[in-house]
Amino acid sequence: MSVTTFIEDEHRWQAVLERRADADNCFVFAVITTGIFCRPSCRARHALRENVRFFTDAEAAAQAGFRACKRCQPDRPADESSLAQKITAVCRLLEQETPITLEALAQRVGLSPYHLHRQFKAVTGMTPKAWQQAARAKRLRSALPHSATVTDAVLTAGFPDSGSYYRKADETLGMTARQYRQGGEGMAIRYALTHCELGRCLVAESDRGICAILLADCESLLTAELHTLFPHAQLMQDDAEFSARVAEVVATIDNPGRTLALPLDIRGTAFQMQVWQALQAIPAGETASYRAIATAIGKPQAIRAVASACAANRLAIVIPCHRVVRGDGMLSGYRWGATRKAQLLARESLKEET
């Protein structure tokens, strides 16, 4: 339901029933039996529909003889940062070890479950459940190297039991817990060294999809970086079938704005996933500042963390971290070299103009 649909009383009443915060600046409602008017998001007990009247604003309700609710204070300016603060609070709750339901989250921050789910996804790009799972996976990654057994790490990360983890197993880490603990041991990764407009390129693929696109001036640097990323994985050279997919990756690298139509194996923390999703929304030929990305994901103070997430990107060009620049428009660091970053931006800008 968009803001423009709050003109009809039936839509306004539905917004009241859902306690929608996005309707707070659109109208107020008054209860005849109490003589009080409220915001649509007010947490007070709902009155009967026949006792409710709607007004365009607090002034109109007051002129009709109603008093402002002391709980939701509809006669005061709405705090525009309120929703962002609530979403931030929800993120912190989801990152705790103890699982929490959507209903419990909604009650804690004073929103309906439906509205919380929709607004949370709009702000973060993830559902509350996905955020909670990503936070749990982050704890698991931290716990695995230091735990005596995989089960100990699973329980330390906040899984209620080992069975609840193993039902989805390697979806949490991108590999099994034992493989992660052993640096990717037993994991098969196929890779190919090739050439693109930006120099030498390495394309790697796991059984889930393209897991690395690396750029460098020589092949020794590329293979060294791949070994660093997957120190104990079973690395295999490309074959004929994989070569076709490598060619598609190269075509994407050489043609700004082209979308790669291959599955990706993206691994990162919940925060990194947010940043990388925001980067993919930047069109070819345009740039955004680190501050703008931080603001877009609802964390305006996390500028340094955004820069770190860009530096952790393993999928060059496909996740376009080269389109992020300093606040003054000047180029900043780039995992694969500032010169290459300048070349990328110049090439994309030129193709957008033609």
* β-bridge partners, 102: none
pLDDT in tens, 7-54: 788 889 988 988 887 788 789 999 999 999 999 888 788 899 999 999
In whole numbers, what is the pLDDT of the chain averaged over residues? 79
Residue intervals of the chain classified under CATH 3.30.160.70 are 188-254
Residue intervals of the chain classified under CATH 1.10.10.60 are 81-181
For the domain with range 3-68, which CATH number is right: 1.20.140.10, 2.70.98.10, 1.10.3720.10, 3.40.10.10? 3.40.10.10
pLDDT in tens, 158-207: 444 434 444 444 444 444 445 554 455 556 889 999 999 889 999 999 88
Given 69, 91, 201, 321, which residue is catalytic?
A: 321
Q: Is 320 exposed, middle or buried (0-12, 13-18, 19+ CB in 10 A)?
A: buried
What integer pLDDT is reported at residue 351 of this predicted model? 62
CATH of domain 81-181: 1.10.10.60
Given 26, 38, 42, 196, which residue is catalytic?
A: 38
Residue intervals of the chain classified under CATH 3.40.10.10 are 3-68
**Tokens 């957008």 sit at which residue?**
352
What angle (nearest 5°) sits at the alpha carbon of residue 299, between those of residues 98 and 153?
30
CA distances from 108 to 98, 116, 179, 185 (A): 15, 11, 38, 43
CATH of domain 270-353: 1.10.10.10
For the domain with range 188-254, which CATH number is right: 3.50.50.60, 1.10.287.610, 3.40.50.300, 3.30.160.70? 3.30.160.70
CA distances from 163 to 86, 151, 155, 166 (A): 33, 9, 10, 5
Helices 82-94 + 128-143 axis angle, to 10: 40
38 is annotated as an active-site residue: yes
Residue intervals of the chain classified under CATH 1.10.10.10 are 270-353
| pLDDT at position 260 over 80 | yes
